[in-house]
Amino acid sequence: MSLIGVAGITHTYGDRAVLRNVTLSVDSGEVFALIGPTGAGKTTLLRIMNLLEIPGAGEVYFDGKCIPRVGKQKLEIRRRMSFIQQKPQVFNLSVYDNVACGLRWRGEKKNRTAEKVDHILGMVGLEGYRNRNARTLSGGEAQRVALARSLVLEPDVLLLDEPTANLDPISTAKIEQLISYVAKQRSMTMIMATHDMPQGRQLADRIGVLLAGRLIQTGNASDIFRSPQDEEVAHFVGMENVIEGIISASDEDIATVDIGGNGLQAVSSYPVGKEVCACVRPEDITLALSSTQSSARNSFRSEVTRVTTVGPLSRVELNCGFPLVALITRISAEELDLQVGKEVYATFKATGVHIMERRAG
Amino acid sequence: MRIAARSLSISGTSCLLASLICLPLASLIHFRQFRGKRALVSTIQTLFAMPTVLVGLFVLVLFSRAGPLGLFRILFTPTAMVIGQILLISPLMLGFTISALSGVSREIVDTATSLGASGFQMIWLVLKEARYAVLAAVIMGFARAISEVGCAQIVGGNIKGATRVMTTAIALEASKGDIALGMALGIILLFLALIINIVLNRLQQR
């Protein structure tokens, strides 16, 4: 059942449209990730959901009820959710007082407050910081205080805005661990904005892609990452190979896409003659020195045009009549002795290709 | 040293009462959006420069026998002096408290709202967030109250044993030509201010 949702939200700052007709509904117990580049409107959407901002148009729903724009009811509803901002804002008080303030505002008894706060400080690993002034903490610690301050309220809905932006990898891992722990343990409903796609993928049940104020696609991780709806989403989710072509043959559910004379086979039911884009994730491509027999339907003889190695992975740019990017491990790149001009075979499965309709214009 | 004690108690009382009025009022002005807010804040800031004698004159007229509030018969009493000083330092306290509250970032206010603070809870939190600057506003008010002479002279009348305070005593000694005593009183006044500052600073560091 839908716990929190928005319908037809349009919002502008001055004459800049930040959100355009966004409709979204999140079920009770669901973890929803809102992904999109910086400036896509993620924060604004979360602020509207937390009733911090009144949308230019559209409605916010909570627990099946439409929330009025003004009035006392807003405070009541707001007290059932919690919002963690991108830059953790701690009050100039002790860690304990920071975490306790939400409970005090809700009129919780003193000894219950102390119990709950101490428990949650233990959970986020800040037991020893009880009496420290929260302003003296590092970024990662401050974010944990902010998280504790929200979690201690046991909200029905937790809204997180880029909870790990600006944090080092260790702090990020700690925060992610906490989020997934809470999501599982308390089956809390969460809406999380992030531009870190692996994070969204790892933590969320369902993902929504927000681009330039529009909620373009929602679905589970494999929908979004394997089958983006259009080129914009494809680019954003790291689908580096988006190749334009025309369906030249169709045999049951296997279609052949003509790309400048090369035939590429993919699972698709689009009719012959349709202008499409073929998407292949770079990590789904394997490289070999000779054309080997395999079950993969697509194998192209190609020339290496560029190799760049970042950490354990090598990004290999190829020319096989059309440009193609493959991501392989550094070790295999070394074994294949990939150098510019070298001839290799790029192989990928028909099921690894996602075909989408080319947008007009 | 009764004079010094009187100075302290009159200015202390007016400072305390002014704080009780100004802090909530400043919060209200800061958090409410209304027409003419800017004009109001500018007016308050203009009143920082209010001459002490003018306030004295105003209170004198207000509480003189023939004045609108003459029936209270409080002219030339410490009560009248306290009222005068409250009027004198209120604009200063209001103005500085408002700017202290403005120093609390939008994000902090949003965070508190999001955590479910009601109107009063928010005001209290923001006052606490801005406590150093708010305390500075209160100290400023006290400093102006204890150091002013115009209002104390006009409204209090510098009556020995009743309304004579440090500043009016200094003025009197100076006019009598007893420069040394005047100086001594002045040094005591500054010394008192120093002690109060130290105590308040200790308080805010807790």
Task: Give yes or no for residue A183 having a pLDDT over 90.
Answer: no
Task: Name the residue among A52, A92, A106 with its Cβ closest to that of B114.
Answer: A52
Quick check: A93 contacting B, CB < 8 Å?
A: yes
Quick check: A147 contacting B, CB < 8 Å?
A: no
Nearest of B172, B176, B170, B175 to residue B146 by alpha carbon: B170
Q: Quick one: closest CA in B to A147, which residue? A: B115
Please give the mean pLDDT across all residues of chain A. Answer: 88
- 8 Å CB contact of A78 and B110: no
Give the span between the Cα atoms of B163 and B154, in whole angstroms. 11
- 8 Å CB contact of B118 and A105: yes
Q: Taking the CB of residue B161, how many other CB atoms lie within 10 A of it?
A: 8
pLDDT class of A255 with cuts at 50, 70, 90: confident
Per-residue pLDDT, B9: 93
Task: Name the residue among A85, A102, A146 with its Cβ closest to that of B116.
Answer: A102
Kindly report the nearest CA distance between residue A83 and chain B, in angstroms: 6
Chain CA centroid to CA A23, Å: 17
Per-residue pLDDT, A339: 85
Per-residue pLDDT, A90: 92
For chain A, how many residues are written? 361
Q: Which neighbouring-strand residues pair with A213?
A: none
| DSSP string over B7-59 | HHHHHHHHHHHHHHHHHHHHHHHHH---TTHHHHHHHHHHGGG--HHHHHHHH
Residues of A numbered 46-65 whose beta carbons fall under 8 angstroms of chain B's beta carbons: which are they?
A: 47, 50, 52
Q: Quick one: closest CA in A to B117, which residue? A: A105
pLDDT class of A23 with cuts at 50, 70, 90: very high
| DSSP string over A43-55 | HHHHHHHTTSS--
- 8 Å CB contact of A75 and B118: yes
Give the span between the Cα atoms of B42 and B55, in whole angstroms. 19
- 8 Å CB contact of A91 and B121: no
- 8 Å CB contact of A82 and B105: no
CB proximity list for B197: less than 8 A, separation 6 or greater: B139
Choice between A267 and A360, residue whose per-residue pLDDT is larger: A267
For A123-159, the pLDDT digits (tens) are 888 888 989 999 999 888 898 899 899 999 989 999 9
- 8 Å CB contact of A105 and B108: no
Kindly report the nearest CA distance between residue A34 and chain B, in angstroms: 20
Task: Name the residue among A93, A105, A146 with its Cβ closest to that of B116.
Answer: A105
For A86-113, the pLDDT digits (tens) are 888 899 999 999 999 999 999 999 999 9
Angle at which helix A95-105 crosses helix A139-151, to 10 degrees, equals 20
Nearest of A158, A148, A152, A167 to residue A187 by alpha carbon: A158
Nearest of A239, A240, A279 to residue A259 by alpha carbon: A279
3-state SS assignment for residue A90: coil
Q: Mutate one of B108, B109, B111 to test the A interface: name it (highest A CB count within 10 A).
A: B111
Alpha-carbon distances, residue A278 vs A46, A237, A240, A288 (angstroms): 34, 15, 11, 22
Task: Name the residue among B107, B110, B115 with its Cβ closest to that of A102.
Answer: B115
Task: Give yes or no for residue A361 having a pLDDT over 80.
Answer: no
Quick check: A106 contacting B, CB < 8 Å?
A: yes
Give the global pTM: 0.80
Quick check: A105 contacting B, CB < 8 Å?
A: yes
Q: Mutate one of A46, A47, A91 to test the B interface: name it (highest B CB count within 10 A).
A: A91
CB B152 within 8 A of CB B81: yes
Q: What percent of chain A has pLDDT over 70?
A: 98
- 8 Å CB contact of B116 and A106: yes
Task: Name the residue among B111, B114, B125 with its Cβ closest to that of A78.
Answer: B114
Per-residue pLDDT, A360: 59
For chain B, how many residues are written? 206
pLDDT digits (tens), chain B, 206 positions = 788 899 999 999 999 999 999 999 999 999 888 999 999 999 999 999 989 999 999 999 999 888 888 888 888 999 999 999 999 999 999 999 999 999 899 889 999 999 999 888 999 999 999 988 898 899 889 999 999 999 999 999 899 988 999 999 999 999 999 999 999 999 999 998 898 888 888 877 65
Per-residue pLDDT, B206: 59
Per-residue pLDDT, B203: 75
A4: left (phi over 0), alpha (psi -120 to 50) or beta: beta
- 8 Å CB contact of A52 and B128: no
CB proximity list for B81: less than 8 A, separation 6 or greater: B10, B14, B151, B152, B155, B156, B163, B165
Alpha-carbon distances, residue B109 vs A147, A151, B28 (angstroms): 17, 19, 14
Place of tokens 């929803």: A32
Nearest of B84, B78, B130 to residue B104 by alpha carbon: B130
